[in-house]
Chain A
Amino acid sequence: MRLTEAIGQLTATINEWGGLLVNPEYVHRGETISWQAFDRPMLPESVKFSDVAKMAEDRQYSFQLLTDGSLFQLYYGYERDGTTLTNSTLSYYEGKSDSQDTDDEDAVDPPPEDERSFARWLRIDFDYRDHRCALHNDCHLHLSGLPGGRVVLDGVPNPKQFVDLVMSWCYPDLYADHCLDGGHKGNYREARRQEWVHEDGFPSVDDVLFRQLIHLKIPRR
């Protein structure tokens, strides 16, 4: 997928989620797609909600989720020709909204500080210079709560796939409302949507490793 197509996908993703993804900050600069105030933050393994709030305040995101302010960071780096992906970091950081902000009488207010101080997060890293190997593959997924663990991926998700992954894993209710028929146990309302999500992806890797190792497969069309 070319750089220009990837930036187009970001806009399409936000539109497709019908107002749930807000405050777009993504930007195309030179050979990269990142966000306006891009700065690679060095975060500890345990990310506090206050760290997420600070990143939100500093606009360190491509866009936010409307319901809780969670941050999506999508970084794609290309070769000068704008066609070959060289590195990528796709992150999600769980946010926590202020219950007083909604004034919603039906809302169950969480405490000013929830019992949980640490935010859930996930991050997919890709660097073409890294090795293709079992434990530290060139494309892998980090999950909060699994320090040091790297889940191997057979390719880099495109923007639509990354948002789909986060929403289905972290917001099953929203995901079900958005594209499933019949709640959590339902199937996709429109098969075409999923075809759309997976079209124009990055090429998958066909390597002997993926016949040996349990890994995550990114669908391709």
Chain B
Amino acid sequence: MDFIPALPTYGTDLSARKVWEWFEAAVRNDDGIAYYKHPIVGSSNGTQPDLTILARPYQPLVVSCIRLRLEDILAVNEQEWVINDSGTNRTVESPILELDDFIVGLQQRFDRERVIRRLFKVVGVVALPIISAVDFAAKFNVSIENAVWRAEDINTVLKGHDNTLSDREWKTAKSVMQSATPLNKTVGSIPRTTTKLGDAIRVLESDIAILDLEQEKVATQIPPGPQRIRGLAGTGKTVLLAMKAANIHRQLPDKKILFTFNTQSLYNQSKTLISKFYRHFSDVDPDWSKVHIRHAWGGRSRPGVYYDVCARQGSVPLDFRTAKATDFNIPFRACCAAALQGRIEPEYDFVLVDEAQDFPKEFFQLLYKVAAKEHAIFWAYDELQSLASVEMPDTAELFGRDTNGAPLLSLEGDYAGGIEKDFVLHKSYRSPMKILVLGHAIGLGIHSPNGPVQMLGRPDSWRSVGYEVDVDEFVEGQAVVVTRPLENSPNPLESIYTGDEPLVTTAAFDDRSTELDWVAESIRKDVREQGVAPEEIIVISLDSPRAKKLMSSLQMRLQGHSIASTIPGLVDGSAEFGEQGRVTLSTVFRAKGNEAPVVYILSFDSLYDYVQEIENRNRAFTCISRSKGWVRITGTGPNMVRAQNEINTILNDIPSLRFVFPNMQRIHNLDAETSRRRRELKRAKEAATGLLDTDGEALKNLDPKLQQQLFKKLFEADGLKGLSDEVRKELLKSLGGK
């Protein structure tokens, strides 16, 4: 039995603690979950039950604790109680009526689900831990149904089920209690194992959404200060933050909440999720004047955190060009730094930050200032998806220090009620283990021919993302083995799908056209032969600059197979993705935050891009980790063959990654190396353009030796790789080379 206090007041709520002790003693060994002040149900005046308990052998319980002494209760009837409130007599609504609101509310939640309809009958309990039953009866001559006065009474309110619950019934009930039912999808009757991709996807989708304990704490608890939530792709960070926002809004409707993120497409997704979870509790939409969903930047047509701050300051926001001129690598950093120069007033009681790894520390400093004095900032961070660094900065680095040098925010210790300040979501649910580990290995470049491009430098960093490591410290040159246990990647696809289609497929082609033909034909087979719905397929191009053209070519090929597709987000600000009946053809940027059972990655040969290897490895990880099932990786030429070899080496070691620990200094210097390569490429482009602009006669008169050297260099650098063999031969002949 797990117990989750949603509010820190549990720490000082002695009555509730005492009553939970009594219940805990009775249900300690049962499967189940209990909450303090869970917002799943509320009374007409917005209060929550003190305890909500779901133990598998028993009917669900809602418990109201009466914290009054007998002498403070002056009169009792069905509708009202008269109490002594610090010397003044006051008439209050009978707690039994409030409890009835809770019972009706929770019962409705259970009755909404067909699987468990009529199986559950919610029991309302009034707990009076500081009053004796005998004295109460003597004073008022009334009895209270399902009252608990002492530990011995607990067994009288624990009512068993008529029949033992099946696993499906129990999971559904748990999903109801966790308010996770909005995540469930309705599917028809399907076999539990299958050789068809489409059926396997249906089985996967039919799984009832259940939060694990870590997730549920993140979603339910409302800490009075900062909280960090760490988790990889697929751990549910966005969903949990949305649940948290909905819970806060439900519990504390007057408080102002900011929900912010980096990817535009998250705007609609976040709004839909928050709305869905809130509507689970309420018949009306959230009050959007209290819950602000804001992109970090914003703009004239859509508000954003930075634009809003500037508007409140009365300052002119930096435009992108100016920001980029100030800070070429991270223009948003320049914006935040400029805003921090002005006065920033607190605006929000709670700040929730998704994709925190994508923001510069200046943005956190800005958030520190827009947050009210408790600085209840909750940020979800994915160490392995940071485009800037794989090692997470500490809070002092993020938020800064005070004048005495002490960190402005600290994650040391827990809040009252045992609410943790720093969460790690170890389990990644989206991708099967093989795919997630492949994504990590490719992203870090564990088996890159040039050595790793990024590295988690400490065993603890690996552990925090769900790997097991045998050593306490890494040493350069040491053979390292890190292993991902299956329990941390519980996607059950491999036990559902018994067909021949491997989870990871790679294919190398001579040219792009053949590659696109193959992808279109493979998608045709998925849809027509394997029963995969078009919207369950995403195609992403790793070659970002040419992505749109590739997608357009693929769209024409798919049309030839009568398969509809869409290239989403061509217009800035539109956020459509995964349209019903259409295959999604996406850039990496657009694919972020989305997922699909079947993912194709085109132009994977870009993994070895001269300038963008680090960025492209990050992008490759993003692409691979979008998959809930299968990944098909294609590309052209020798670089794709290299990529195939790299992938095969990785797959051979799964569930482990085996590598020689690299020199961390070399890795830290790779940024500088990337800048050097960027400069070299620019120089080469300028030189080539200059040469092309030169009068042909002048080139003819170049020293023949120099001509030969130039040609040799181009040839050796494979600078003619874009030409066909025939043209190359022709060119060589015309230039008199060999």
Residues of A near any B CB (own CB < 8 A) = 15, 19-20, 22-24, 48-50, 52-54, 56-57, 59, 64-71, 95-107, 109-113, 115, 117
From known contacts A49-B572, A111-B319, infer whether A105 and B545 are also in contact, taking CB-CB under 8 Å: yes
Contact B572 A23 (CB under 8 A): no
Q: Sort chain B's interface into a size bin.
A: 35 or more
A49-B301, A104-B545 known; A69-B678 Cβ under 8 A: no
List B555-571 residues whose CB lies under 8 Å from chain A: 555-556, 559, 566-567, 569-571
A103 touches B587 (CB 8 A): yes
> Are the C-beta atoms of B319 and A56 separated by less than 8 Å?
no
> With A57-B576, A66-B552, A115-B319 in contact, do A97 and B570 touch (Cβ < 8 Å)?
yes
Interface centre among A15, A48, A98 (most CB of B within 10 A): A98
Contact indicator A22/B545 (Cβ below 8 Å): no
Distance between Cα atoms of A48 and B299 in the complex (Å): 13
Q: At the interface, yes or no: B297 with Cβ under 8 Å from chain A?
A: yes
Kindly state the separation between the CA atoms of A102 and B297 in the bound complex, as whole angstroms: 18
Besides the contacts A56-B571, A56-B576, what 14 more A-B pairs have beta carbons closer than 8 Å?
A19-B553, A22-B552, A22-B567, A23-B570, A50-B301, A57-B574, A66-B567, A98-B572, A102-B545, A109-B331, A111-B320, A112-B298, A112-B572, A113-B299
Do B570 and A66 have beta carbons less than 8 Å apart? yes
Question: Which 5 A-B residue pairings sit nearest by Cβ, starting from the closest?
Answer: A69-B570, A111-B320, A113-B299, A69-B571, A53-B573
Contact among A56, A98, A102, A104 for B264, CB-based, below 8 A = A98
Q: Is the CB of B574 within 8 A of A56?
A: yes
Identity of the chain B residue whose Cβ is nearest the Cβ of A107 in the assembled complex: B545
In the assembled complex, the CB of A25 is this many whole angstroms from the nearest CB of chain B, namely 9
- Chain B residues within 8 Å of A67, by CB: 548
- Give min CB distance, B520 to chain A, whole Å: 14
The reply to whether A20 and B300 form a contact with Cβ atoms under 8 Å apart is: no
Nearest A residue to B295 via CB reads A112
Q: Does B547 contact A (CB under 8 A)?
A: yes
Among A20, A52, A95, A113, max chain B CB count under 10 A is at A113
Task: Report the separation of the CA atoms of residues A68 and B548 in the bound assembly, to the nearest whole angstrom.
Answer: 10
Q: Are A56 and B570 in contact (CB under 8 A)?
A: yes
Q: How far is the CA of A59 from the CA of B590 in the complex (A)?
A: 17
Interface status of B668 (Cβ within 8 A of chain A): no
Contact B573 A66 (CB under 8 A): no
Report how far A99 CA is from B702 CA in the complex, Å. 42
Of all chain A residues, which has the CB nearest B323? A111
Query: What are 28 inter-chain pairs, A to B, with CB distance below 8 A?
Result: A19-B552, A22-B555, A22-B567, A49-B301, A54-B574, A57-B575, A59-B576, A59-B579, A64-B567, A64-B571, A65-B570, A66-B552, A67-B548, A95-B570, A95-B572, A96-B572, A97-B570, A102-B544, A103-B545, A104-B544, A105-B678, A111-B319, A111-B321, A112-B297, A112-B320, A112-B572, A115-B319, A117-B300
Say if the beta carbon of B611 comes within 8 Å of chain A: yes
Closest to A96 in B: B572
Minimum C-beta distance from A177 to chain B (A) = 13
Q: Is B549 an interface residue (CB 8 A)?
A: yes
Contact B324 A109 (CB under 8 A): yes
Using an 8 Å CB-CB cutoff, how does the interface string of B275-298 with A read, 1 for contact, 0 for none?
Answer: 000000000000000000000011
B552 lies within 8 A of A68 (CB): no
CA distance A115 to B549 in the complex (A): 27
Contact between B573 and A49, CB atoms less than 8 A apart: yes
Report the minimal beta-carbon distance from A132 to chain B, rounded to whole angstroms.
37
Q: How far is the CB of B650 from the nearest CB of chain A, in Å?
A: 25
Report whether B615 and A103 are in contact in the complex, using a CB–CB cutoff of 8 Å. Answer: yes
Partner of A66, one of B300, B319, B548: B548
CB distance from B544 to the nearest CB of A (A): 4
What is the CA–CA distance of A56 and B579 in the complex, to the nearest angstrom? 13
Q: How far is the CA of A70 from the CA of B553 in the complex (A)?
A: 18
- Report the separation of the CA atoms of residues A71 and B574 in the bound assembly, to the nearest whole angstrom: 12
Closest to B615 in A: A103
Query: B474 at the A/B interface (Cβ < 8 Å)?
Result: no
Q: Are A96 and B615 in contact (CB under 8 A)?
A: no
A101 partner, pick from B298, B304, B589, beta carbons under 8 A:
B589
CB distance from A114 to the nearest CB of B (A): 9
Bound-state Cα–Cα, A112 to B300, Å: 9
Minimal Cβ-Cβ distance residue in A for B262: A100
Report the Cα distance A98→B611, complex, angstroms.
22
- Name the residue on B nearest A101 (C-beta): B589
Of the candidates A20, A57, A59, A97, the one whose C-beta lies within 8 Å of that of B552 is A20
Q: How far is the CA of A70 from the CA of B574 in the complex (A)?
A: 12
Closest to B559 in A: A24
Q: Which residue of B lies closest to A115 (CB)?
A: B319
CA separation between A15 and B590, bound complex, in Å?
A: 26
Q: Enumerate B290-319 residues with CB–CB distance to A below 8 Å.
A: 297-302, 304, 319
Partner of A50, one of B302, B576, B588: B302
**A105 touching B571, Cβ below 8 Å:** no
Query: Whole-angstrom distance between the alpha carbons of A204 and B148 in the complex?
Result: 90
Q: Taking each of B319, B553, B590, which has the highest tally of chain A beta carbons within 10 Å of its own beta carbon?
A: B319
B686 CB, nearest partner CB in chain A, Å:
13
Give the complex CA separation of A105 and B553 in angstroms.
Answer: 22
Q: Which residues of A contact B615 (CB under 8 A)?
A: 103
Q: Is the CB of B570 within 8 A of A64?
A: yes
Judge whether A48 and B301 touch: CB under 8 Å: yes
Q: Flag if B574 contacts A53 (CB, 8 Å).
A: yes
Residues of chain B with a CB closer than 8 A to A101's CB = 569, 572, 587, 589-590
Q: A53-B573, A57-B574, A113-B301 are in contact. Are A66 and B321 (CB under 8 A)?
A: no
Q: Output the nearest chain A residue to B324 by Cβ-Cβ distance.
A: A109
By a CB distance below 8 angstroms, the chain A residues around B551 are 22
State the CA gap A57–B301 with chains docked (Å): 15
B574 to chain A, nearest CB (A): 4
Task: Please state if A103 and B588 are interface contacts (CB–CB under 8 Å).
Answer: yes
Cα(A101)–Cα(B590), bound, Å: 7
- Rounded to whole Å, the gap between the CB of A143 and the closest CB of chain B is 21
Docked Cα-Cα span, A125 to B587, in Å, equals 36
CA distance A113 to B295 in the complex (A): 13
**B557: shortest Cβ distance to chain A, in Å?**
11
A15 to B560, CA, bound (A): 11
Task: Pick the most buried of B304, B572, B576: most chain A CB atoms within 10 A of its CB.
Answer: B572
A24 to B366, CA, bound (A): 43
User: Which A residue sits closest to B570, measured CB to CB?
Assistant: A69
Question: Contact: A112 with B299, CB < 8 Å?
Answer: yes
A residues less than 8 Å from B301 (CB atoms):
48-50, 53, 113, 117
A-side contacts of B321, CB under 8 Å: 109-111
Would you call B574 and A22 a contact (CB within 8 A)? no
Measured CB to CB, the nearest residue on chain B to A50 is B301
Q: Quick check: B570 and A109 within 8 Å, CB to CB?
A: no
Residue of A nearest to B263 (CB): A100
Instruction: Find the A residue at minimum CB distance from B572.
Output: A98
Cβ contacts under 8 Å, A115 to chain B: 319
Q: How far is the CB of B481 from chain A (nearest CB, A)?
A: 34
CB atoms of B571 and A97 under 8 A apart: yes
For the complex, what is the distance from the CA of A67 to the CA of B585, rounded to whole Å?
15
B569 A109 Cβ-Cβ under 8 A = no
Residues of B within 8 A of A19 (CB): 549, 552-553, 555-556
What B residues does A117 contact at CB under 8 A? 300-301
Please tell me which one of the listed residues B299, B574, B575, B587 contacts residue A69 in the complex, with CB atoms under 8 A apart: B574
A70 vs chain B, min Cβ distance (A): 8
Q: Are A52 and B552 in contact (CB under 8 A)?
A: no
